[in-house]
Amino acid sequence: MANLKAIRGRIKSVKSTQKITKAMQMVAAARVRRAQARTLATRPFTKKIIQMLQQVVHEANAVDLQDIPLLHKREHIKRVALIVISSDRGLCGSYNTNVFKATIRRIHQLRAESKEVVLITIGLKATGFFKRIKEVERIKTYTNLPAIPTFETAKMVADYANHLYVHGKPPESDHKPNYDAPADMSQRVDQVEIIGTRFLNLGKQETAEVQFLPVQLPEGIDHFPMSAETIFEPTLTELMEEELIPKYVDNVIYQAMLEASASELAARMNAMSNATSKASELIQELTLVYNKARQGDITQQLLEIVGGAEALK
Nearest Cα to Cα of residue 153 among 167, 142, 141:
142
What is the three-state SS of 105-148?
HHHHHHHHCCCEEEEEEECHHHHHHHHCCCCCEEEEEECCCCCC
DSSP codes joined into one string, 15-54: HHHHHHHHHHHHHHHHHHHHHHHHHHHHHHHHHHHHHHHH
10 Å CB burial of residue 139 (0-12, 13-18, 19+) is: middle
Decide if 92 is catalytic.
Answer: yes
Selecting among 60, 70, 82, 92, the annotated active-site residue is: 92
Residue 169's identity, in one-letter code, is: K
Dihedral sign from CA coordinates of 174, 160, 263, 146: negative
Phi/psi for 135 (5° steps) reads: -75, -15
Using an 8 Å Cβ cutoff, are 106 and 209 in contact? yes
Instruction: Please tell me the distance from the alpha carbon of residue 94 to that of residue 246, in angstroms, as a whole number.
Output: 33
> Positive or negative CA dihedral for 244, 118, 137, 147?
positive
Give catalytic residues, as residue numbers: 92
